[in-house]
Amino acid sequence: MAVDTLTLLIITGIYLIAIIALGVLGYRQTKEHEDFMVAGRKINPIILALSYGATFISTSAIIGFGGVSAYLGMGLVWLTVLNIGLGVLIAFIVFGKKTREIGHRLNAVTFPDLMGKCYDSAFMRNVSAFIIIIGMPLYTAAILIGGARFIETTLYIPYDTALIAFAAIVAVYVIFGGLVAVMYTDALQGAIMFVGMAILLVLTYIYLGGVTEAHTALSSLTYMVPEALAAAGHTGWTSMPTFGSPIWLTLITTLVLGVGIGVLAQPQLVVRFMTVSDNKSLNRAVLVGGPFILMMTGVAFTVGPLTNVFFAKTTGMTAMQACGGNVDLILPMYINAAMPDIFVVIFMLALLAAAMSTLSSLFHTMGTAAGYDLWKGKHGKISVINGIQIGTFVMILASTLLAYIMPGNIIARATAMFMGLCAAAFLPAYAHAMYSKKPSVSAAGASLVTGAVAWFVWTAFVHLKESQALGLSKLITGNDALLPMPWQVVDPIIIALPLSIVALTAVVVYEKTWKKSN
Amino acid sequence: MFGISDPQIWISYVLAIVFALACIVYGILNWNSEEESNHGS
């Protein structure tokens, strides 16, 4: 990289001092377990919006999905549409307000706690917490890998050291400062991300000669689409893949719908609605949240495809070819090669901030699920806060170990998998809890279990990319996938979420009919 | 539009920008609104 390492280290050092200072502030404001879990329910709306956005948008969204858009094209902007439409507007207005009101009334402090109290059911609390501590480490490990890889290539720190240092720094402020520290640091990180992405967009268009010129140049590269990709439905970077083709199915079912819908029921985001004191704060947060997300994924999915113009000019290859087939390297390589030195530093900080803000929230959510929801009341002489801190430490350790085991090129896929699982398992039961006067625990339980099991079966036995990697289908049946194409590229969420909704509806209808007849 | 000929792509850009603007308008119009919902568990 062109920037000298000393400058980078000094700026990173200043950033880390600011993060530690905010961590200490969070630590000082954390006295009760409610402070640790829901930041005392008195967070400022702007901090909420930036924290929600920064948690939502990780390095995975920028580097992983930005890289995927460099590979598949601008069709990924449909994910931005869902990110804002569902992830902000519907999430805050339809779900956020109900979650805040009900969460306050029932004194819920985590997502599993909210589910348990809404349904007055330890089963709902425990199963929700169990799904979090089983599924979330996968997503967390992907964020860790992304962050560590970026630190490795930017600061020339060995990968293993980067991974441990990265996990350890975030662990310290999460364990000691709880959600107050997490949200304060998120807000700073969100602001850095906003500046970084805004500069990235402007400089890319300047570099490529203007908005229309850049897009026209990208459209003219369609002839460079490799034959194999064209045969799978790729029609160029400024057009949608052929309807129904394998690439179209992956783009729409896994990336756009899987991630777009999955965001609605992510426990680490839902808990944020319970951190503000009134609905007014949620209204104000919407104002900041929408433009923030547009500047994150909208920019990543625009600049990603445009890197093809840069790489075609400089190397005669597509972005994917120039980066040796690793989508996660496309944006870092583009920025290092094309951007002015000072921007490389700013963007490095933005990515570090994106990774840290998501990681801290995942650590916190897994820790509270393990140390509070599952372990609550069994702490013995240990205080509630210390129990959660121990749970957090254990989950951080497990995720870091998983990061060593997981394959490299998996950031975007692991993100989509986690979001799919959240949607299939939690979304119908969560919506039922928020919008039904007397939510049925049997219906919610059936939906949660059906969604999670259907997601797992489809992931392990049908969706080829995962079933091949897991090897379970091969071991049991001798085949990598049980169903033929096109099912092998249909994302688990497309199957599991409707089944989860059907299970909930069927039990609700059955109970109503049974009550009437008795 | 802006060098993108496939309507499926430029419509996605238009929608993303319209939704972001809708967030701004909603936030401004409801800046001090404190309505509570009546339904739910």
- The partner residue sitting opposite A279, judged by closest CB among B5, B8, B34, is B34
Please tell me the predicted confidence (pLDDT) of residue A1: 47
Question: Chain B residue closest to A431 (CA)?
Answer: B40
Separation CA B4–CA A314 (nearest Å): 23
Window B:15-34, CB contacts with A under 8 Å: 15-17, 19-24, 26-28, 30-34
Quickly tell me which residue has 């000072």 as its tokens.
A342
> Could B40 and A434 be called an inter-chain contact, meaning their C-beta atoms sit closer than 8 Å?
yes
Please tell me the predicted confidence (pLDDT) of residue B23: 94
> Could A291 and B40 be called an inter-chain contact, meaning their C-beta atoms sit closer than 8 Å?
no
- DSSP secondary structure of A174-226: HHHHHHHHHHHHHHHHHHHHHHHHHHHHHHHHHHTTSHHHHHHHHHTTGGGS-
**Segment-wise mean pLDDT, segments of 10 residues, chain A, 518 residues:** 72 90 88 78 81 79 88 94 93 90 88 90 89 87 83 82 90 86 87 91 93 94 91 92 91 84 86 84 88 93 96 93 86 88 84 86 89 72 80 90 76 75 91 88 92 91 80 79 80 91 93 80
Interface check A104 vs B, CB under 8 A: no
- DSSP secondary structure of A219-262: HTTGGGS-HHHHHTT---TTSPPPTTSHHHHIIIIIIIIIHHHH
Quickly tell me which residue has 């920025």 as its tokens.
A335
SS3 content of chain A, % helix, strand, coil (to 5): 80, 0, 20
Please tell me the predicted confidence (pLDDT) of residue A217: 94
| pLDDT tens digit sequence for A115-126 | 998 998 889 899
Q: How close is the nearest chain A Cα to the Cα of B29, in Å?
A: 9
DSSP A463: -
Structure tokens that stand for B14 in this block: 């238009």
The CATH number that domain A5-416 falls under is: 1.20.1730.10
For residue A169, the Cα-to-chain-centroid distance in whole angstroms is: 20
> Could A240 and B6 be called an inter-chain contact, meaning their C-beta atoms sit closer than 8 Å?
yes
Question: Chain A residue closest to B14 (CA)?
Answer: A81
Interface check A288 vs B, CB under 8 A: yes
Interface check B7 vs A, CB under 8 A: no
Please tell me the predicted confidence (pLDDT) of residue A377: 59
Interface check B38 vs A, CB under 8 A: no
Across A72-85, b (16+ Cβ under 10 Å) vs e yields: bbbbbbbbbbbbbb
| pLDDT tens digit sequence for A52-106 | 788 888 777 788 889 999 999 999 999 999 999 999 999 999 999 999 999 888 8
Structure tokens that stand for A58 in this block: 């990780």
Query: Helix (H) and strand (E) counts for chain B?
Result: 1, 0
> Could A287 and B28 be called an inter-chain contact, meaning their C-beta atoms sit closer than 8 Å?
yes
Please tell me the predicted confidence (pLDDT) of residue A89: 93
Interface check B14 vs A, CB under 8 A: no
The interface predicted TM-score (ipTM) is 0.91
Answer whether A371's CB lies under 8 Å from A389's CB. yes
